[in-house]
Structure 1
């Protein structure tokens, strides 16, 4: 399952929201990946997420495969759309 989402928070996916994202992704059994800027990274890897350098307005695709893939994708999209409380 995949969904496209845009970064909403002004400072982009810097250390704190990236950490929140990775921590949330790690709660799921599914394999979760983020696809952006022509790269695919493991959503459970802080270094992978940070390496994308995502800023406000950038689009990314969240992709998951596994038993809880739908919940994983929807939860992570909601987290991004919430702006990480910033």
Structure 2
């Protein structure tokens, strides 16, 4: 398992468009990918799961992956968050 903590600096947090971009990027990897936020743990490939987590501006999340491309998956998603989902 590979994991990284990252802070969400996008002003609107993980709302509809960023959540869609995040889940689409996660789905492009073979590994199982999870997001941990507080007590919640959600499937990063599920837009509904991401939206239900309530991840807002300033939230610290942990992106973890397990599988053959786990490191590439986590690093790609970490970079997506750090660039504010291209907004």
Query: TM-score range with shorter-chain normalisation?
Result: over 0.9
**What is the CA RMSD across the aligned residues, in angstroms?**
0.5
Moved over 3 A (4+): none
Residue aligning to 2:43: 42
Residue-by-residue CA offset, 1:31-80 (whole Å, 9 max, x unaligned): 00000021111000011000111111000000000000000000000000
Aligned to 2:65: 64
Unpaired stretches in structure 1, ≥5 consecutive residues? none
Work out whether 1:26 is the aligned partner of 2:27.
yes
Question: Paired residues, what number?
Answer: 86
Structure 2: give runs of 5+ residues left out of the alignment.
Answer: none
What is the match of residue 13 of structure 2? 12
Alignment correspondent of 2:54: 53
Could you tell me the TM-score, scaled by structure 1's length? 0.98
Mapped contact 1:37–1:52 kept (Cα < 8 A): no
CA distance in 1, matches of 2:85, 2:68: 26
- Structure-2 separation of matches of 1:36 and 1:46: 15
